[in-house]
């Protein structure tokens, strides 16, 4: 399978890989970031064929592995100096995570501006794009899995749980009580942060809220404040950035 771009999104938990044309994701794979090595990366890629590697990474130590594996390829690392399709109005642009820039690029294409992106990863991040299509800042809070794992790790009797929709708000077992606290409580956290963001920006702003990440579907299910869920928002952003910063092949 051949496409012009290999997209790589390295997050704290998983590394997602996608072949992409200028207009569409073609195939997606993922591996645990903690297992990332040159050998595993080559095995995972298999027969994929591509010209340009587009990288978004929030794990600096993976840089040497990626540089070595793709030494014979052109590498495009996402950062504020690239054409992102969105401007930046932020005091220190270099400190914005590459994944958050990719999400902003994707949100503009998907729902327009103004917009808020909620990314449910190891941390949950909120990124705000203004009506004049500029990234203006965000919010970072602990991720849902981090919060529930902390309870398990720091208490003697509370178990590790798999998250899903609670049957009731009043748990009839320890697991059910933890589930209710995690999911309903987390929805409250997201709802209140969104309310504060919109309150600060003013009532006249008609923001669209798009969610992505591992728990986006679960938490968004009963939050009407979130207008759209897109499971591959970051990868789509990398595809958009790739297309904006390269010329189409001519034959």
Q: Is the pLDDT of residue 251 over 60?
A: no
**What is the pLDDT at residue 122?**
86
**Total count of domains within the chain:** 2
Residue 22, both tokens: 């200028």
Instruction: Give the range of the structural domain holding residue 22, as residue numbers without chain letter.
Output: 1-77
For the domain that residue 58 is a member of, what is the CATH number? Answer: 3.30.420.40
Residue among 62, 54, 56 at smallest CA distance from 34: 62
Across all residues in the chain, what is the average pLDDT?
92
* 65 and 85 fall within a common domain: no
Confidence of residue 38 (pLDDT cuts 50, 70, 90): very high
**Alpha-carbon distances of 198 from 56, 59, 138, 184, rounded to whole Å:** 28, 31, 12, 21
pTM: 0.91
Query: Is 86 found in the same domain as 73?
Result: no
Please tell me whether residues 212 and 166 are part of one structural domain. Answer: yes
What would the mean pLDDT of 17-38 be, rounded to a whole number? Answer: 95
Cα dihedral 99, 105, 108, 113 in deg (nearest 10): 70
Rounded distance between C-alpha atoms, residue 83 and residue 124, angstroms: 25
pLDDT band at 159 (very low <50, low <70, confident <90, very high): confident
Neighbours of 136 (CB within 10 A): 16
| DSSP one-letter code for 138 | E
Q: Among 123, 161, 162, which residue's Cα sits nearest to residue 139? A: 123
Distance CA 190, CA 239 (A): 28
**Residue 97 near residue 175 (C-beta atoms within 8 A):** no
Give the model confidence (pLDDT) of 190-226 as tens digits: 999 999 998 888 765 688 999 999 899 999 999 999 9
Segment 127-147 shows an average pLDDT of: 92
pLDDT digits (tens, 9 = 90+) for 80-103: 999 999 999 999 999 999 999 999
Please state, in angstroms and rounded to a whole number, the distance separating the CA atoms of residues 137 and 144.
Answer: 22
Query: Is residue 99 flagged as an active site residue?
Result: yes
Q: Is the confidence at residue 188, as pLDDT, over 80? A: yes
Question: Hey, what are 168's tokens?
Answer: 């009731």
pLDDT digits (tens, 9 = 90+) for 109-130: 999 999 999 999 888 999 999 9
Q: In terms of domains, do 19 and 58 share one?
A: yes
Mean pLDDT of 31-53: 95
9, 35, 99, 127: the active-site residue: 99
The token pair at 119 is 């990314």
Sign of the Cα pseudo-torsion (166, 170, 174, 179, in order): positive
- Residue environment code for 88-109, b if the CB has 16+ CB neighbours within 10 A, otherwise e: beeeeeeebbbbbbbbbbbbbe
DSSP 3-state of 144 = helix
94 & 184 share domain? yes
* Residue 202 shares a structural domain with residue 156: yes
């Amino acid at each position: 399978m051949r496409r012009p771009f290999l997209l790589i999104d390295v997050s704290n938990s998983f590394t997602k890989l996608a072949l992409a044309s200028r207009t569409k994701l073609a195939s997606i794979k993922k591996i645990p970031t903690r297992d990332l090595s040159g050998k595993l990366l080559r095995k995972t890629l298999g027969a994929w064929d591509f010209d340009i590697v587009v990288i978004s990474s929030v794990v600096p130590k993976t840089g040497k592995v990626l540089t070595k594996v793709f030494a014979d390829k052109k590498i495009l690392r996402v950062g504020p100096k690239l054409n992102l399709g969105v401007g930046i109005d932020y005091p220190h642009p270099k400190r914005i995570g590459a994944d958050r820039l990719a999400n902003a690029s994707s949100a503009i294409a998907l729902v327009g501006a103004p917009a808020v992106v909620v990314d449910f990863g190891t941390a949950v991040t909120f990124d705000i794009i203004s009506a004049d299509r500029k990234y203006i800042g965000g919010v970072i809070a602990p991720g849902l899995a981090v919060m529930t794992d902390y309870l398990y790790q720091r208490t003697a009797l509370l178990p590790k749980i798999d998250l899903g929709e609670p049957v009731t708000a009043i748990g009839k077992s320890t697991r059910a009580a933890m589930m209710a606290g995690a999911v309903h409580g987390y929805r409250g956290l997201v709802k209140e942060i969104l309310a504060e963001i919109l309150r600060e920006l003013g009532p006249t702003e008609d923001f669209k809220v798009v969610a992505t990440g591992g728990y986006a579907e679960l938490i968004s299910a009963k939050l009407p404040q979130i207008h759209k869920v897109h499971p591959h928002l970051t990868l789509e952003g990398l595809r958009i950035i790739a297309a904006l910063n390269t010329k189409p092949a001519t034959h």
